[in-house]
Structure 1
Amino acid sequence: MVSNKKEKIFHLLLATGSVFLTISLIGYPDEAFDAAVEGLTIWWDVVFPALLPFFIGAEILIGLGVVHFMGVMLEPFMRPVFNVPGAGSFVMAVGLASGFPIGSILTSKLRRNQMLSKTEAERLLCFTNTADPLYMFGAVAVGMFYNAQLGILIAVAHYLSSLSVGLLMRFYKRNSSDITTETKTSEHIIIRAFKAMFKGKRDDQRPFGKLLGDAIRNSVNTLLLIGGFIILFSVIIRILTVIGFIELVTTILSPIFLTLGLRPELIPTLISGFFEISLGSELAAGLSNVPLTQKLMAVSAIIAWSGLSVHAQVASITSDTDINVVPFILARILHGILAAIYTIPVVHHLYDYIQPVQKVISDVDPNLNLLTSWHWGLALFASALCILILVILLSIILSTINSSKRVFFFIRK
């Protein structure tokens, strides 16, 4: 009874909001059109070309059984650290490299393929939807702050807080019996991994030509869905700004921010970032009378929260599974708070080291800022790949030690 009442209230709020949005579009057609074009430009120029190759590659790797291979190889590491199967390492690695919402897409695929339980999928979803290096270094650091090295500060705070969320979420439903089980066998982990890969490819049954076609078609359809959400929330933010809603909220929250030692000018940026991260980050970067640390704290919190636009994308992507998005949303709040907090020591310890480099680059050639951002982005991607390789090696070592222990106890008996 209570659930039905909440559902009716939620539907009523949605209906009211939809009517309000429609009336606002009629009242401010020029503003709505400009905002829609702005959102479309962001999607076409940045999101589509950046994510399409990753989406296609991920689909192909799943079809070829590579994810099954990684699932076996990384089970000895992922299970004790994050309490998810080894297949989650693939989602984590690709999420680090390409950013949201690919983490939710891959998590949903693994859940549909029964490679994750419901609980494990919810844990994995909470910490694998991260921003990509290119966005933090290129779009935010260079495009908005005009300082490539600030991308280091943003990325370090972002990934440290993301891993912290992953470590905390391992305790989510820790006593649940809803977990995938690893088959006990005396075979070496590498042999088992290759067998799992061949079995995954055999179960898929699609020839490579069809696999490639399906990967392209599914990826484009997903990106069209993402583009629609970006345009919609771009329009919503513009309408809220025009009607004075953001200004009203700023007035109400200003005393609280002053009490916390934060500048009230940050409030409009956080409200915009609540809906869409690019718009909120750009507003934060443009604040001239706010200390850099507070601007970076706001940007870190916005990127970690990822915006209602991304939340809506994740909800839509996972809608055909039994994955509950409530833990994901709560984890985004935790991620945002931790990212803002981590920014303070990160700026304190790293800012003095990057400033001299930025000054030399600016004196030589401002265009090198963009080149530097690409270098840092590629370096971060390479670091993620190296970490993945090291984790694989660690998993092999752990598996070998466990196998040796089993053999030892068998001989003693």
Structure 2
Amino acid sequence: MLRIMTHPATLTGLGALSIVLLMAFFPASTLESSLRGLSIWWQVLFPALFPFFVISELLLGFGIVHFFGKLLDPFMRPLFRLPGIGSFVVAMGYVSGYPVGARLTAQLWEQKLVNRAEGERLVAFTTTSDPIFLIGAVSVGFFHNASLAPVLAAAHYGGALVIGFLMRYHDRRAPISGMLVETSHAAKSRQRSRIGQAIKAMHEARLLDGRSLGKLLQDAIQSALRLMIVVGGLVVFFSVVMEMLTKTGLIEALAQALRQLFRTFGLPGRLADAPIFGLFEVTLGAREAGGDHGALMHQTALAAWILSWGGLSVHAQVISLLSRTDIRYRPLFLSRLAHAFIAMLLVYVLWGWLGP
């Protein structure tokens, strides 16, 4: 009986039932938090992510991804044990932020351009914040200090690259996609220029896709809209969950325990609210970190932790995007946790050079 009660599926079901009961007890708060999550999705996430989803679909259809894959293959393999095509995911993931990297990784997996191990490596270090949110929302909006952007960006993206390098040792026995094809054509490849190979790969990918421009654009928009609905649903759901946990006092209890731990290490107790909120949702956590606590270096380190962890809301978005693949969640969870603490440490290391 005890074993059944502690089974993950049973615990998840009990948790879901508890949330439903709380929603019934607090209907007004449920509606208010739902509208708050919907507002964040419509006003922030939809305009920020939808264009990137459409563009990424178009670039895949046009073969641009294959062009950069062939061009950057010599760099990606020795550094990250990834095929060159992964460079497109890295670039788009860093520019457009979570969960674009996961979406592109799932697309490459579906096209058999990466295997499970490579997909796990890619998602591990491309699940990052976008520069607009890091600079505009966090540095300027929450901290009211644009000079924090260099140290925050260096810690966050530098930590991601460290994770990418460490992940090259993940599942080392797994093959690298494209290795056999490349080896069998090694003699011909040496005779062609790298750019020539890249153009040829792009042309072949475009012919293989075969869709007209109109059809490609239609498919890209439909796919992007479906993804945005999933993202919006998860944002609203976690907004409600956070409100319900706050109503029960669980959030405050966790914050009290963490405040005591912070005071033990000589840190302001008020800073404890930031990682508690950031554990669930990155925007709420970053906003708490940017409050007037009088400990700017520690606040920045916590903001780097929150941005790199991503929040369970982002984790849920990534899991939903990878649900049709065999890519596992455990490597993502461990890499996010490691990235959070590496980025936090990098803030303290870089503060003397890049800090305000």
TM over 0.5: yes
* Partner of residue 248, structure 2: 243
Superposed counterparts of 1:103-252, under 5 Å:
103-177=101-175, 179-181=177-179, 182-183=181-182, 184=186, 185=188, 186=190, 187-252=192-257
Change (3 A) 1:7 1:62: farther
Listed one character per residue, the Cα deviations across residues 67-97 of structure 1 (whole Å, up to 9, x for unaligned) are 1111111100010111100001000111111
1:51, distance to aligned residue in structure 2 (A): 1.1
CA contact (8 A) 1:265 1:290 kept: no
1:179, distance to aligned residue in structure 2 (A): 4.1
* Code of the aligned partner of 2:120: E
Could you tell which deviates more after superposition, 53-62 or 189-198? 189-198
Equivalent position SS for 2:7: helix
CA contact (8 A) 1:35 1:231 kept: yes
CA distance in 1, matches of 2:319, 2:262: 31
Segments of 4+ moved more than 6 angstroms: 5-8
Q: Is 1:14 paired with 2:12?
A: yes
Change (3 A) 1:175 1:299: same
1:345, distance to aligned residue in structure 2 (A): 2.3
CA contact (8 A) 2:124 2:336 kept: yes
CA contact (8 A) 2:289 2:302 kept: yes
CA contact (8 A) 2:150 2:355 kept: no
CA distance in 1, matches of 2:150, 2:79: 25
* Partner of residue 298, structure 1: 302
Q: 1:341 aligns with which of 324, 345, 349?
A: 345
CA contact (8 A) 1:117 1:180 kept: no
Q: 2:266 aligns with which of 261, 264, 268?
A: 261
1:133, distance to aligned residue in structure 2 (A): 0.5
Q: 1:325 aligns with which of 329, 340, 348?
A: 329
CA distance in 2, matches of 1:349, 1:178: 38
CA contact (8 A) 1:153 1:343 kept: yes
1:189, distance to aligned residue in structure 2 (A): 1.8
Change (3 A) 1:33 1:348: farther
CA contact (8 A) 2:271 2:293 kept: no
1:31, distance to aligned residue in structure 2 (A): 1.6
* Code of the aligned partner of 1:56: V
* Partner of residue 389, structure 1: none
* Partner of residue 40, structure 1: 38
1:290, distance to aligned residue in structure 2 (A): 4.2
* Partner of residue 78, structure 1: 76
What are the ranges of 5 or more consecutive residues in structure 1 without an aligned counterpart? 353-413
Listed one character per residue, the Cα deviations across residues 309-333 of structure 1 (whole Å, up to 9, x for unaligned) are 1111111111101111210111000
CA distance in 1, matches of 2:15, 2:296: 36
* Code of the aligned partner of 1:268: D
1:257, distance to aligned residue in structure 2 (A): 2.4
Greater Cα radius of gyration, structure 1 or 2: 1
1:135, distance to aligned residue in structure 2 (A): 0.3
* Partner of residue 92, structure 1: 90
* Code of the aligned partner of 1:279: L
CA distance in 1, matches of 2:159, 2:104: 21
Could you tell which deviates more after superposition, 182-191 or 227-236? 182-191
1:6, distance to aligned residue in structure 2 (A): 8.6
CA contact (8 A) 1:119 1:179 kept: no
